[in-house]
Structure 1
Amino acid sequence: MPKYRHRILTGGVGHEVGNCIRAFSQHMGIEIVEMNIQRDHMHIFAMIPPKVSVSDYCGMVKGRSAIRVFNKHKELKKQLYWGNHFWTQGYCVDTVGMDSDMIRKYVKYQEARERRMEQRSLF
């Protein structure tokens, strides 16, 4: 999640984050099964080999993507609320066993589901 859950993962920023995650994951031998980048958060369904710790992977993705985003979109550094941080602290991780297809569909269609719920709340 971006710091303070700001809705900035759109356009060039969202595209850059996605490219970073794919590139760094491939470099580490991690397969991105499904990824959904929304305005204020993201979901990644990844196959992480046992030799890579989940915390190392998450730290690498968050750290390196933040550096690249700040370098490419310097206007973000000028905002008073950013400081030197792009992402919030922490992350949520779960393991997948037999229900991998269900999890994959959840990640893929989460954005459409949230839009429907937001539209319902407007009425």
Structure 2
Amino acid sequence: MGYSSGCHTTFHHRYHIVWAPKYRFKVLHGEVRLRVREIIKQVCVEMGVTIVNGALSRDHVHMFVEIPPHISVSDFVRRVKGRSSRKIQQEFEHIRKRYWGQRFWQRGYFSTTSGNITDDIIMRYLDRHTHKQGFSPSP
């Protein structure tokens, strides 16, 4: 188990987070999948969040991330979902028509720390996850 450190902190805050498109439509494929993946990576870099692992299925997103203590999980998810929703609807007309100006993502998300189960179990699950186009770990 590796610890990260900031100016005045040492931490190991890892979260397994899952969220889905509204109505659980299977829209995360092709160019949309690639763009969502790219936007998520950009937000992670901006916020200092480390991607440990992740997977995009056609109808949901799984992420295993390490979030610094000064950022709440809800702030991270709000930023990722908000920015990706806005950009996806701007860039893909078929998505904009399907959701007709409403939110792209379902309300809410699932989150758990890796304390209830081990990091290894989460990593094995994500590695076995079907239909995935994974996130490579952050540098």
TM-score, normalised by the number of residues in structure 2: 0.75
Structure 1 runs of 4+ aligned residues shifted over 6 Å read none
Q: Which residue of 1 aligns with 2:7?
A: none
CA distance in 1, matches of 2:70, 2:94: 37
The size of the alignment, in residue pairs, is 111
1:83 to 83, 95, 101: 101
User: Which residue identity is paired with 1:110?
Assistant: H
| CA distance in structure 1 between the aligned counterparts of 2:120 and 2:100, rounded to whole angstroms | 37
| Greater Cα shift, 25-34 or 92-101 | 92-101
Q: Match for 2:45 among 26, 34, 44? A: 26
Partner SS state of residue 33, structure 1: strand
Q: Gaps spanning 5+ residues in structure 1: where? A: 113-123
Identity in percent: 39
Shift of residue 84 of structure 1? 1.7
- 1:38-77 aligned at under 5 Å gives the runs 38-77=57-96
CA distance in 2 between counterparts of 1:8 and 1:71 reads: 15
Amino acid at match of 2:109: Y
Hey, which of these two has a bigger chunk of helix by percent?
Answer: 1
**Aligned residues: CA RMSD:** 1.4
1:108 and 1:71 map into 2 onto residues whose CA distance is 32
User: What is the aligned partner in structure 2 of residue 93 from structure 1?
Assistant: 111
Once the 2 structures are TM-superposed, how far is the Cα of residue 82 of structure 1 from its aligned partner?
4.3
Q: Per chain length, whose mean CA-contact separation is higher, i.e. which structure has more relative contact order (CA < 8 Å, sep 6+)?
A: 2
Compare the two structures and name the one with the higher strand fraction: 2
Quick check: 1:3–1:82 contact (8 Å CA) kept in 2?
no
Q: What letter corresponds to residue 65 of structure 1 in structure 2?
A: S
